[in-house]
Chains A and B, each alone.
Chain A
């Protein structure tokens, strides 16, 4: 193999098209500076937000997590005492972790399965798709609200609509939200009901899959399940991954529904004591802001580890078609 010297290359190749040189003079530099200024100007609101509303309070919270701050008096430095108490002697902290893991463990897969199933059903060229899509999306807009939490509490209460309907079939109802066995599943059901956001993302992904793949598979004799299993599922794994991460982070931070349904207690018998709810109790009911700050940092770490784990597993199950 011979290589051409630069001069040879020059002589054998077509003359290179004349490039317009970017002026590097003073006026060009001024333009660049001006553009930078404009960029920073547009970024300013975001920068102010990330620094002032997120960054500084986070730093303050980190500091407070090493203090005994109780709002009504100045904070005193206590080192790692809050963290030691959390893992060493707080029974309810451990309880809240278990409740949260159960909640996340049920919520995330159920929302994924439910939203994917509805998205697949809606992706079959139904008439009025936009209307159905909007209708299914509405719960995810209002599901985390206090109003819906209160409604859920009434619907699943001892004298709620659910028991009324069960009564028509001669079945005895119960206070679903006031039972240690059923309170958490009721909240999980409320969360699953807010599947709309994930569904819309799945629907967008499904519509990106070329129809020709399905036609070819059909010609080869693949049935509906095989087409879903071998074409749809692999091609939407990046979106499943994306939704999983989002749902995981949101579920770990769930608060409103458990707060409203249990009246802020996390009961009955701590069965709905989600981590964020316990954190809230410590901060705003017992005024232990330092302790609550430590809890917040443990939560941040747990979410980080959970998300990192999902990212690590993604190399085994997420299929990017271009790789």
Chain B
């Protein structure tokens, strides 16, 4: 009897609510008071570490608060597994509705079977692209001309260095080169810094295996990386690249090849840069905040800063630029389109969301938001520096056109070829031949099916 009374007491409000809801639902023109009529659940996938996961989760919570009828399932992964998982999902036509995409990978997935063309949704205003520079928006187009991605962050590549080591070198009489410095001046600076470092430390990570450093080298020497699905740079440029890093390695300016491989795949906390064993390395500048946070723990007192890649012999800037954005899976049911469109608009345009994200995955694409973020005293100093450097040198950048599987192929083949040089398995010339042959083979195979 007691149980029955309790049950009745508990059920009364629920029954009353249901009756009211049903009544309201059947009365035309009446709506339940809430912030949004949007209903439905979607899946959203992104890559990144814990800091980005936390920020993204906060933004999703904010969105869900504003749209109580909407639920977003979180699907996050680290960088490499992210793309492998997306590949497997596309195989099973099970990709999420909202997919974080990058210009370097876009051509691999830019097909109407995998991603939805967004031109119509932009044209009718469903997707809001206000404030996104035209060039950045255009980077979301696939080789077929369709717009597949709405950019939310612009990424670029730069060098990270230890500010205290630079200051110590300056005190010892090693002048910092003024930008724009060329590759030879940069190498000489590293040579000069080396004697001022503690024993066992190196002036630079050996970037011979790093595509992010190789691209500025190629472009600053007046060549393109790709022409469609063909290699556009010359064999001589590759040979010079390998020779450049081999000279520095043999002089002890960079680490031995075994450490080069280890540092290349190391977590930030294990890296030479974080542990004051290295002066300069290549890391994406959007990681400056997370790198500094870890360095504060590993090497208290050390400050990490960023500087642009060197320019070519004639002053040509080789800096690459790309965009991260959100695409919609081609398998996303039509009834979910309004929700996913609203989510993309929120993520790319909402000032509160932008403040939470703090340009974590590239400088926020909407210019006014980027400026506001740089001027906001609450923004982390590292992220302000990230935005400022972009605003200083971004305009001179030369974005790479990436063919299908281009980034993966370049990363794979360049690393293997330079490893062979550094370990003495191949001559520089043979390694250059192997690199270009393997790279072209992978590009051909990818192009034959795109």
Contact = CB atoms under 8 A, between A and B. Distances in A.
A268 B261 contact: yes
B261 A71 contact: no
Contact of B419 (A76, A175, A268, A288): A268
Nearest to A282: B445
A271 to B, nearest CB: 9
Contacts, number: 79
Interface string A299-321: 00000000000000000000000
Interface residues of A, number: 27
A47 B415 CA distance: 46
B243 interface: no
B74 interface: no
Nearest to B80: A264
A30 interface: no
B190 to A, nearest CB: 21
Contact of B416 (A68, A263, A265): A265
Interface string A176-204: 00111000000000000000000000000
Contacts of B30: none
Interface stretch (B84-92, B171-179, B228-236, B359-367): B84-92
Interface string A10-51: 000000000000000000000000000000000000000000
Interface string A70-97: 1111001000000000000000000000
Given A72-B109, A158-B258, A267 B419 contact: yes
Given A175-B261, A269-B419, A269-B423, A287 B409 contact: no
Contacts of B265: 263
Interface string B83-103: 010011011000000000000
Nearest to A179: B258
Contacts of A288: 445
Contacts of B416: 265, 267, 269-270
A250 interface: no
B31 interface: no
A72 B261 contact: no
Nearest to B421: A269
A269 B420 contact: yes
A174 interface: yes
Nearest to B425: A269
Nearest to B408: A285
B446 A70 contact: yes
Nearest to A74: B113
A37 B109 CA distance: 49
B84 A285 contact: yes
B419 A70 contact: no
Contacts of A285: 84, 408, 412
A71 B94 CA distance: 13
Contact of B262 (A76, A157, A264, A269): A157
A84 to B, nearest CB: 14
Given A175-B262, A178-B262, A265 B109 contact: no
A286 interface: yes
Contact of B258 (A178, A270, A281, A291): A178
A72 B259 contact: no
B114 interface: yes
B408 A72 contact: no
A281 B80 CA distance: 12
Contact of A68 (B87, B111, B425, B449): B449
Interface string A143-173: 0000000000000011000000000000000
Given A265-B416, A286-B408, A286-B445, 18 more contacts: A70-B449, A71-B90, A71-B91, A72-B90, A72-B111, A72-B449, A73-B113, A158-B258, A175-B262, A178-B259, A180-B425, A267-B416, A268-B258, A281-B412, A285-B408, A286-B446, A288-B445, A291-B445
Interface of B: 80, 84, 87-88, 90-91, 108-109, 111, 113-114, 257-259, 261-262, 265, 404-405, 408-409, 412, 415-416, 419-420, 423, 425, 442, 445-446, 448-450
29 contacts: A68-B449, A70-B446, A71-B87, A72-B90, A72-B404, A72-B449, A73-B111, A73-B450, A158-B262, A175-B258, A175-B261, A178-B258, A178-B261, A178-B262, A179-B258, A180-B423, A263-B265, A264-B80, A265-B415, A267-B415, A267-B416, A268-B261, A268-B419, A269-B419, A269-B425, A284-B87, A285-B408, A286-B409, A287-B405
